[in-house]
Chains A and B, each alone.
Chain A
Amino acid sequence: MSTFYALLRNPQGALGLLIVTILLIVAIFGPVIAPNDPESFNFGSRFAAPSMEFPFGTDWYGRDLFSRILIGARSTVLLAILATVIGTGLGAIIGVLSGYLGGWADEVIMRLTDAIMAIPSLLFALMILAALGSSALNAVLAIGIAFAPGMARIARSVTLQVRALDYVAAAQARGEKLGWIVLAEILPNTIAPVIIEATIRVAFAIMTLATLSFLGLGAQPPSPEWGLMIAEARDHLFRSPWPVIAPGIAIALVAIGFNLLGDGLRDVLNPKTAD
């Protein structure tokens, strides 16, 4: 709880928290709030500018952009969080294990992750999608896997400090198994930096997911996924800018929100800057 109040006192953290909270509410309740069916056409009002009836305007089929953004929040944001959770979980376990084992095993695991990190994460995700086929869930999986090596590096470096501490030595002396020491002793104590990193990564995940959908490899039309909305709207940019602007601003806001929250958490959770 004290972390929470500290976060509220931190201007960046408070703003980030606000944006992310609103976003999560939209993601969860969006379909209830949305005034229109996101897929139904309105032949009479194609390319409408923002108005009372259509707060964000309409697209080339006359679909209500406001409703599409609200409903698209779920597929965009929740999927991005899911991708980050996969990447973080996978990366943290690999990193902690590698750091704790040390020596020969550490060398092998870290050189492997170095090799993977040499490939840009978008390219790596594209490679995975080429193998799995394109769908929204495969895109989430691809981003998760692509994120894992970076997380593993961070988790490992924290583990290197933690493993030298007495309670680890005590666990070893008690004769605990490897799995217990890694998951129950070390992992919880490396969690703060990992969470901060993960929060910032969510923003990257949203952008990567949007990029993949933009390239036609993630969500499928007519899904209101934000990246896909921009990709489809590009052809109509010169007739009406709203179908590009609305999801573009949404993506930017979310990315900023998660980045601010991550920065806030970093300040709050860091013992040196907390007070």
Chain B
Amino acid sequence: MTSPFNRRGFLKATAAGATLATMPGLVQMAQAQNIQPGGTLRLALNITPSVLNPMLSRLNSEYLLGELLYSGLTVLAPDMSAQPDLATEWSANEDATEWRFTLRENAVFSNGQPVTSADVAASFAKLLDPATAAPGSRNLGPISEVVADGDFAVIIRTASPYADLPVALTYPTAKILPASIVEGDFDSLMQTPVGSGPFRMAEYRPDDVAIVERNPDYFIEGQPYLDRVEVKSFPDAAGAAAAMLAGEVDILTEIQPTDYARIADSDGVTGLRSPSGRFLDVVMDCTVEPFNNPKVREALSYCVDREAMVELVAEGYGTPGNDSPVNSAYRYNDDAPLKSYDPERAKTLLAEAGYPDGIEIELIASTRPGYRSAMAVVLREMARPGGFDISVQTMDHPSYLDQVWKKGKFYVGFYNMQPTEGTIFNLLFTSGANWNETRWNNAEFDQLVLEADQTTDEATRADLYAQAQKLMRDEVPALVPCFFDLLGAQADYVENYVQNPRGANYALHTVALAADAPTR
């Protein structure tokens, strides 16, 4: 098994225009000695944050603000491991059902109150309360109870063993809020943030800009390095890209694959690229004709030239998929050889399945992001020699979410990377998944994922997840033809900005500006 961390570092260093500054770890440590504190960082978003309450946020842009203003127990590192945030250390009992998290004693909310175990207990009670309707509350694991253990430690108990708890707690909505506000005027967080994050809100103009300033009481000595961060909203990706090229912003967190080379090649700009588990899939409803026949699904899986798909749909900025939502950006990828492109075999399988003359079928693709319909068109072309006559129907995004997503029998889905294998399987493919859109309902697969969730032994988990991935490759509840790299850009004078493949973490408190940065 190759280590995802090394692979990521290697790809980064070879990515167009990437310099050593983007390589995490070593370089970051070396630079820590001569870091220049101060300065204003300007960052561009093309989806405007509108929900300020961190427990209710749903978009990457809202996660970004949440991370600037609030802290959680743990935070997700670029290698998908849990790192200390408010909790400094944690340990579990033998079967991973009871965890003890030790809290920092120097963390303070922006209203002056210290962060204590009572705040943590109250925050989790609120998060897990169905009435709060916090997105991602089901991604936190089977938590049954969170209780204070003295002022600066909490005990978290789970209903079943759950080895990934510290990683699951990095979910962006799992922020710690003051107990007085959680139990009092919770709605006030929509206007007035009260958190213990590295920055504090200075100004917020919806659809325009959010300005945060350095929190002088932040619990990590010397951080954040920046005095101010301006988060600017642009109406579309093209506008944000133009602002980057004009030097009006210092960091772009997202770039369209078609725009990446142009932006990364321009003067003074460094392109950022990280392999990620973000993927497009072609969802097949396994309970209805013709996809209730596994041979039809298998036939379609031989109609995908996966390497070409990466080239045509992700413009080369991606990795081929192997019909499982796990790739090398995750910890336990089984690295099986790619399925081959074999339309002849697809034809034979279709004939065996009772479709000697091929199948005519409509594939629905939402118009956002744009590469959804691109994948549909490419699949149509690739599957033609295999006996599939696919017609593409595009649809605007709200109609798609309303009428097709989780309901249709053949459509293109799009998902972010999740911190663990278990999270992505339990989100989409197990029988009890929140979004069980394929209705595959395979008991053997459910059992493998459940066992892996409950095991702490690394080798056993790797084996269980490998079996789960093989099952998905054999039975093909969904095609996963390609994964997308996370693409971004930064001005050359930005230091220590590291892309997180999950796509929802930014760690701006460790970012600094070099001495040659323009002063504003």
A residues at B contact (CB < 8 Å): 39-41, 43, 60-61, 134, 216, 220-222, 235-236, 238-239
Q: How far is the CA of A220 from the CA of B373 in the complex (A)?
A: 10
Given A43-B308, A222-B381, A235-B256, answer yes or no on A216-B394 (Cβ-Cβ < 8 Å). yes
Residues of B within 8 A of A222 (CB): 377, 380-381, 392
Report which of A41, A221, A238 forms a contact with B373, defined as CB distance below 8 A: A221
Q: How far is the CA of A40 from the CA of B258 in the complex (A)?
A: 21
Distance to closest chain B CB from A48 (angstroms):
15
Interface pair B394/A61, CB less than 8 Å apart: no
Q: Is B378 an interface residue, CB under 8 A from the partner?
A: yes
Q: How far is the CA of A221 from the CA of B377 in the complex (A)?
A: 7
Residues of B within 8 A of A41 (CB): 312, 378, 381
Q: Is B50 an interface residue, CB under 8 A from the partner?
A: no
Report which of A40, A134, A216, A238 forms a contact with B381, defined as CB distance below 8 A: A40
Given A216-B396, A220-B391, A220-B392, answer yes or no on A61-B312 (Cβ-Cβ < 8 Å). yes
Given A220-B391, A220-B393, answer yes or no on A238-B378 (Cβ-Cβ < 8 Å). no
Residues of A within 8 A of B392 (CB): 220-222
Residues of B within 8 A of A61 (CB): 312, 377-378, 381
Identity of the chain B residue whose Cβ is nearest the Cβ of A237 in the assembled complex: B258
Given A43-B308, A61-B312, A238-B262, answer yes or no on A220-B381 (Cβ-Cβ < 8 Å). no
Identity of the chain B residue whose Cβ is nearest the Cβ of A43 in the assembled complex: B308
Residues of B within 8 A of A239 (CB): 258, 261-262
Interface pair B393/A216, CB less than 8 Å apart: no
B residues at A contact (CB < 8 Å): 256, 258-259, 261-262, 308, 311-312, 367, 370, 373, 376-378, 380-381, 391-396
Interface pair A216/B367, CB less than 8 Å apart: yes
Residues of A within 8 A of B378 (CB): 41, 61
Distance to closest chain A CB from B372 (angstroms):
11
Distance to closest chain A CB from B393 (angstroms):
6
Top 5 closest pairs, chain A to chain B, by CB: A235-B258, A222-B377, A238-B262, A221-B377, A216-B367
Q: How far is the CA of A188 from the CA of B163 in the complex (A)?
A: 83
Q: How far is the CA of A140 from the CA of B99 in the complex (A)?
A: 64
Known: A216-B394, A222-B381; 19 extra A-B contacts, CB below 8 A, are A39-B380, A40-B381, A41-B312, A41-B378, A43-B311, A61-B377, A61-B378, A216-B367, A216-B396, A220-B391, A220-B393, A221-B377, A221-B392, A222-B377, A222-B380, A222-B392, A235-B258, A236-B258, A239-B262
Interface pair A221/B262, CB less than 8 Å apart: no
Residues of A within 8 A of B261 (CB): 239
Interface pair A220/B308, CB less than 8 Å apart: no
Identity of the chain A residue whose Cβ is nearest the Cβ of B367 in the assembled complex: A216
Residues of A within 8 A of B376 (CB): 221
Q: How far is the CA of A43 from the CA of B381 in the complex (A)?
A: 12
Residues of B within 8 A of A235 (CB): 256, 258-259, 370
The 25 sampled A-B contact pairs (Cβ below 8 Å) are A39-B380, A39-B381, A41-B378, A43-B308, A43-B311, A43-B312, A60-B312, A61-B377, A61-B378, A216-B367, A216-B394, A220-B391, A220-B394, A221-B373, A221-B377, A221-B394, A222-B377, A222-B381, A222-B392, A235-B256, A235-B258, A238-B258, A238-B259, A239-B258, A239-B261
Residues of A within 8 A of B380 (CB): 39, 222
Residues of B within 8 A of A134 (CB): 394-395
Residues of B within 8 A of A216 (CB): 367, 394, 396
Q: How far is the CA of A24 from the CA of B370 in the complex (A)?
A: 33
Q: How far is the CA of A43 from the CA of B262 in the complex (A)?
A: 21
Q: How far is the CA of A239 from the CA of B259 in the complex (A)?
A: 9
Identity of the chain B residue whose Cβ is nearest the Cβ of A223 in the assembled complex: B392
Q: How far is the CA of A236 from the CA of B259 in the complex (A)?
A: 8
Q: How far is the CA of A42 from the CA of B373 in the complex (A)?
A: 19
Residues of A within 8 A of B256 (CB): 235
Residues of A within 8 A of B391 (CB): 220
Identity of the chain A residue whose Cβ is nearest the Cβ of B381 in the assembled complex: A41
Distance to closest chain B CB from A205 (angstroms):
22
Identity of the chain A residue whose Cβ is nearest the Cβ of B308 in the assembled complex: A43
Residues of A within 8 A of B312 (CB): 41, 43, 60-61
Q: How far is the CA of A61 from the CA of B380 in the complex (A)?
A: 13
Q: How far is the CA of A236 from the CA of B376 in the complex (A)?
A: 18
Q: How far is the CA of A39 from the CA of B384 in the complex (A)?
A: 11
Q: How far is the CA of A252 from the CA of B514 in the complex (A)?
A: 51
Distance to closest chain B CB from A136 (angstroms):
12
Residues of A within 8 A of B308 (CB): 43
Identity of the chain A residue whose Cβ is nearest the Cβ of B393 in the assembled complex: A220
Q: How far is the CA of A254 from the CA of B189 in the complex (A)?
A: 57
Distance to closest chain B CB from A228 (angstroms):
9
Residues of B within 8 A of A60 (CB): 312
Q: How far is the CA of A67 from the CA of B395 in the complex (A)?
A: 26
Q: How far is the CA of A129 from the CA of B394 in the complex (A)?
A: 14
Identity of the chain A residue whose Cβ is nearest the Cβ of B312 in the assembled complex: A61
Residues of B within 8 A of A40 (CB): 381
Residues of A within 8 A of B377 (CB): 61, 221-222
Q: How far is the CA of A136 from the CA of B392 in the complex (A)?
A: 13
Distance to closest chain B CB from A139 (angstroms):
13
Distance to closest chain A CB from B362 (angstroms):
10
Residues of A within 8 A of B393 (CB): 220
Residues of B within 8 A of A39 (CB): 380-381
Q: How far is the CA of A100 from the CA of B258 in the complex (A)?
A: 59
Q: How far is the CA of A39 from the CA of B395 in the complex (A)?
A: 21
Q: How far is the CA of A216 from the CA of B261 in the complex (A)?
A: 26
Identity of the chain A residue whose Cβ is nearest the Cβ of B373 in the assembled complex: A221
Q: How far is the CA of A64 from the CA of B367 in the complex (A)?
A: 24
Identity of the chain B residue whose Cβ is nearest the Cβ of A62 in the assembled complex: B312
Q: How far is the CA of A124 from the CA of B262 in the complex (A)?
A: 38
Identity of the chain A residue whose Cβ is nearest the Cβ of B362 in the assembled complex: A220
Distance to closest chain B CB from A63 (angstroms):
9
Distance to closest chain B CB from A239 (angstroms):
7
Distance to closest chain A CB from B180 (angstroms):
48
Distance to closest chain A CB from B386 (angstroms):
15
Residue from A134, A216, A221 with most neighbouring chain B CB atoms (10 Å): A221
Residue from B376, B377, B380 with most neighbouring chain A CB atoms (10 Å): B377
Q: How far is the CA of A40 from the CA of B382 in the complex (A)?
A: 9
Identity of the chain A residue whose Cβ is nearest the Cβ of B391 in the assembled complex: A220
Distance to closest chain A CB from B324 (angstroms):
26
Distance to closest chain B CB from A100 (angstroms):
43
